[in-house]
Amino acid sequence: MSDLAAFAAGLAAGSIRVVDLTSPLSSETPILQLPEEFGQTERFQLHEISRYDDRGPAWYWNNFTTGEHTGTHFDAPVHWVTGTDEDVASVPPERLVGPAAVIDCVDRVADDPDFLLEVDDIRAWESDHGALPEGGWLLVRSGWHAHAGSQEEFLNADEDGSHTPGLSPECARWLAEESPVIGLGVETVGTDAGAAPTFDPMFPCHSLMHGAGKYGLTQLRNLDQLPPVGAVLVASPLKIVGGSGSPVRVLAFVE
């Protein structure tokens, strides 16, 4: 049997499952909020064109407006000033499919919403599960998706800023410059920790990962249904010409 025939047989038999890692995209989807002196991203919004009515008797359809970086979305290298000019339409399709490593930080984030993943945590994970996958993704399972029902809870901000988990600057640098993965996936509103505006460099996951030509995925969920190793991830952003990012449907194949 060919590899693809075996894959199709596995899907049909249920020995390979498809897990949807995407959060629902609606006007309720929480969005990033920057300090008010900066431009702001928009919520997702449907605008009805017709619904089996005098505007279109047999059809229902909508226009929609959204920020590129709204909901579960893909960050392309051109998003950041340090990045290459690779926009979301230019990402090679081979780089949209790859192995996923999942690191579980749920308990530590439950104790500390400002939890930062360190290189040593990834080293410890690697001693249990092997090296991070070449050309693959590191997915950080924080449990933060549980807060996605409320903008306020999801951003978890006070006068000191947002309190959400992420990577330390050193860990972001290692992931960008030394690890073999091509992307970082998280459950939070962006790939960086809530405190990242105060880090050096500022927003290190964006600055260093995009600087290295790597990618980001945000607002993932259902990471609890993935094994630490062995899942294959498919990320399919819209092919927006010149786009810095795009809402994305993220699926994982799991044996």
Nearest-approach distance from CB 41 to Mn ion, in angstroms: 8
Nearest-approach distance from CB 240 to Mn ion, in angstroms: 13
Q: Identify whether 210 is a catalytic site residue.
A: no
Which residues contact residue 91 at a Cβ distance below 8 angstroms, ignoring those fewer than 6 apart?
Answer: 74, 76, 215, 237
Contact 12, 246 (CB under 8 A): no
**By CB neighbour count within 10 A (0-12 exposed, 13-18 middle, 19+ buried), where does 7 fall?**
middle
Hey, what are 181's tokens?
Answer: 């993965």
Helix (H, G, I), strand (E, B) or coil at 222: coil
List the interface residues with Mn ion, window 75-114 (CB under 5 A): 75
Q: Which residue is nearest to Mn ion (CB)?
A: 69
Nearest-approach distance from CB 42 to Mn ion, in angstroms: 13
What values do phi and psi take at 221, rounded to 5? -145, 175
Binding of Mn ion at residue 141 (CB under 5 A)? no
Of the residues 43, 69, 210, 214, which one makes contact with Mn ion according to CB under 5 A: 69
From 69, 73, 79, 210, active-site residue? 79
Range in contact with Mn ion (rule: CB under 5 A) among 120-128, 148-156, 157-165, 245-253: 245-253
Report the catalytic residues: 79
Give residues in contact with Mn ion (CB under 5 A).
69, 75, 245
